[in-house]
Amino acid sequence: MTFATAGDPDVLRLEKVPMPVRTNAELLIKVVAAGVNPIDAKTRAGRGAFGAISSFPAVLGNDFSGIVVEAPYEAHALQPGTEVYGMGMVPRLSGAYADYLTVTELSVVRKPPTLSHVEAAAVPLAALTSWGMVVDTARAHEGQRMLIHGAAGGVGHLAVQLASYFGAHVIATGSTRNLRWLSDLGADEVVDHSTERFEDVVGEVDAVIDLVGNVHDDTATRSLQVLRPGGIIVNGPTGSWPTMRAEAQAAGVRATGYRVAPDGATLAIVSRLIESRDLKVFVDAVYDLPDAAEAHRAIERGHTRGKLVLRVCDG
């Protein structure tokens, strides 16, 4: 699935592309399923990582689950036939909306056997993003009060679980239909953003995981009202809060964006949490690869519970 120019979802085209060539410590992977993420839609529309695309047509798709076709060398731990999942450096390299891709060995690990390929493809980017925001940056710990916006989305539903796992008191915002589900995931308090202003009902918090920004109702700016002095807000969506630094400084709090990177070591930890059932991934809808445009329309409409996934082939 390629696109040759920025535009709406209809610019996506199902076309033949050259087989990627594996080199050095890379693996050649046969893709079974690929995650669909907001950054994919932003890049296709000419935002996001669009400026890093060096040639067209380009193939999107960061995270994937599939089967090793070629390993870097004969004694490598991931030999042909091994089921793996991971995340690539898209658009520096061709992405997962294709039959095959190449990735460095540092970007993949064995697929958890308890997950199907479709479920596994939903994990890497969202899990690594939520880990980076919740664990590495906000330092989730017992006794900490953490507010998570956009908690029912792909990153958000994993962020709720990770924050809870590490002992934080989790306050999650979401829509009416997701409130009970968020509680089941581990949220200690839930706020219906369609009926309540979170700043009116949430007490002081130590950290905010902002997966909305100011693109909806100035959510990021309003979060400064509930953040304790010296607390931290971690903003995720690219371009969603251009005035973050100045506003945070004026409010006397810390603020940072977060950008995810492929990380097989952390993904291996995530795999163990999945195997122990301390972390669960939810797939809201599955689309066949020819229907990638429809998947992009769905993710741009918002209101997705968990992740959207493309089925690339049977496996």
Say yes or no: 28 and 60 in one domain: yes
User: What pLDDT does residue 45 have?
Assistant: 94
Check whether 238 has a pLDDT greater than 90.
Answer: no
> Does residue 151 form part of some domain?
yes
> Does residue 131 form part of some domain?
no
pLDDT band for position 112 (cuts 50, 70, 90): very high
- 55: domain CATH number is 3.90.180.10
> Does residue 97 form part of some domain?
yes
Say yes or no: 148 and 199 in one domain: yes
* Contact status, residue 163 vs residue 170, Cβ threshold 8 Å: yes
Say yes or no: 192 and 121 in one domain: no
Check whether 315 has a pLDDT greater than 80.
Answer: no
Which contacts qualify for 288-295: CB closer than 8 Å, 24 or more apart?
289/1, 289/14, 289/97, 289/313, 290/1, 290/14, 292/1, 292/9, 292/12, 292/14, 292/36, 292/97, 293/9, 293/10, 293/12, 294/9, 295/36
> Does residue 306 form part of some domain?
yes
Mean pLDDT of the chain: 95
Say yes or no: 116 and 7 in one domain: yes
Structurally, how many domains does the chain consist of?
Answer: 2
User: What pLDDT does residue 289 have?
Assistant: 96
pLDDT band for position 216 (cuts 50, 70, 90): confident
**Sign of the alpha-carbon torsion through 109, 113, 121, 260:** negative
Say yes or no: 39 and 65 in one domain: yes
> Does residue 133 form part of some domain?
no
User: What pLDDT does residue 140 have?
Assistant: 97
Give the residue numbers spanning the domain of 231. Answer: 138-257
Check whether 314 has a pLDDT greater than 90.
Answer: no
Which of 215, 240, 257 is the last residue before a domain boundary? 257
- 173: domain CATH number is 3.40.50.720
> Does residue 132 form part of some domain?
no
Say yes or no: 121 and 63 in one domain: yes
Say yes or no: 66 and 181 in one domain: no
- Model-level pTM? 0.94
Rounded Cα gap, residues 283 and 204, in angstroms: 33
Rounded Cα gap, residues 34 and 286, in angstroms: 10
Q: What is the mean pLDDT of residues 159-182?
A: 96
Say yes or no: 281 and 229 in one domain: no
Rounded Cα gap, residues 270 and 273, in angstroms: 5
Say yes or no: 26 and 96 in one domain: yes
> Does residue 176 form part of some domain?
yes
pLDDT band for position 94 (cuts 50, 70, 90): confident
Question: pLDDT by residue (tens digit) across 27-49?
Answer: 999 999 999 999 999 999 999 88
- Of 279, 263, 159, whose CA–CA distance to 209 is shortest? 159
Q: What is the mean pLDDT of residues 178-199?
A: 94
Check whether 91 has a pLDDT greater than 90.
Answer: no
> Does residue 156 form part of some domain?
yes
User: What pLDDT does residue 303 have?
Assistant: 85
Say yes or no: 144 and 239 in one domain: yes
Question: pLDDT by residue (tens digit) across 252-283?
Answer: 999 999 999 999 999 999 999 999 999 999 99
Check whether 73 has a pLDDT greater than 90.
Answer: yes
